[in-house]
Amino acid sequence: METKVKDIFERLKDGETIPPNDPQAHKMREASYATKELLLHMNNSSDPAEVRDLLSQITGSDIDQSVAIFTPLYINYGKHTKIGKNVFINFNCVFLDLGGITIEDNVLLAPNVSLLSEGHPISPEERHSLIPTPIHIKKNAWIGANATILQGVTIGENSVVAAGSVVSKDVPDNVVVGGTPAKIIKTIEG
C-alpha cells in the first residue's frame, strides 16, 4: 500500500520542521516567486480596491473593504495569512507566513512591522531546516513602528507593542510591552 506524502504547505501549517533536503522544498521557493509577482503589481498600485484585490489573491482569502494597506507590503508566501476586518497595515511591513499569521479585527500595524512565523534550529548542523510556528494577533492590538513579532507569539486583545520592540514570548490581553526582548511595561485600564 502506497503512503501519500502530505503537501509541504500542509506540513508547514501543521508546524512540521522542514529539512533543507526535503523533496518538496523547491515548492516553497516557487510559491514565493509567484507571490512576488503579485506583490510587484500590488506595491505599485495606488488604488485601495486593487490593493485589496491583489492581497486577496496573495492570501487566497477575501480581504474586507474595511482593511487599509499602505504599500509596500512584503510577504514570502501569503496563503497562510488571515486578516480580519478594519485592519490597518502601514508602509513597509514584512510577513513571513509559512508558519501562519492570523490578524484579527481592528488591529493596527505601524510602519516597518515584521511578523516572522519562521525560524531555524540553533544547531549548525540543522540550521538550514525551517521551523514554522504561527503568530496570532488578537483583536484591537496595536503593533508600534519597527516592532518585530517572532514565531509562535500571540499578542493579546487590546495590547500594545511599543515601537522598536522584539517580541519573543506571548503577550497577555490589555498590556503594553516594550524593549528587546519585550517585557510588560504597564496594564491598560478600562
80 part of the active site = no
Residue 1 has pLDDT above 60, yes or no: no
**Please, which pLDDT band fits residue 18 given cuts at 50, 70 and 90?**
very high
End-to-end CA, the chain = 60
Q: What pLDDT, on a 0 to 100 scale, did the predictor assign at position 4?
A: 74
The domains of the chain, with CATH numbers, are: 8-187 (2.160.10.10)
- Active site residue: 26, 80, 120, 136, which one? 120
154: closest CA among 102, 118, 119? 102
Q: What pLDDT, on a 0 to 100 scale, did the predictor assign at position 2?
A: 59
pTM: 0.95
Letter for the amino acid at 110? Answer: A
Residue 180 has pLDDT above 70, yes or no: yes
Beta strand 183-187 pairing with 175-178 = antiparallel
- How open is the CA angle 69-73-76, to the nearest 5 degrees? 135
* pLDDT tens figures, 85-106: 999 999 999 999 999 999 999 9
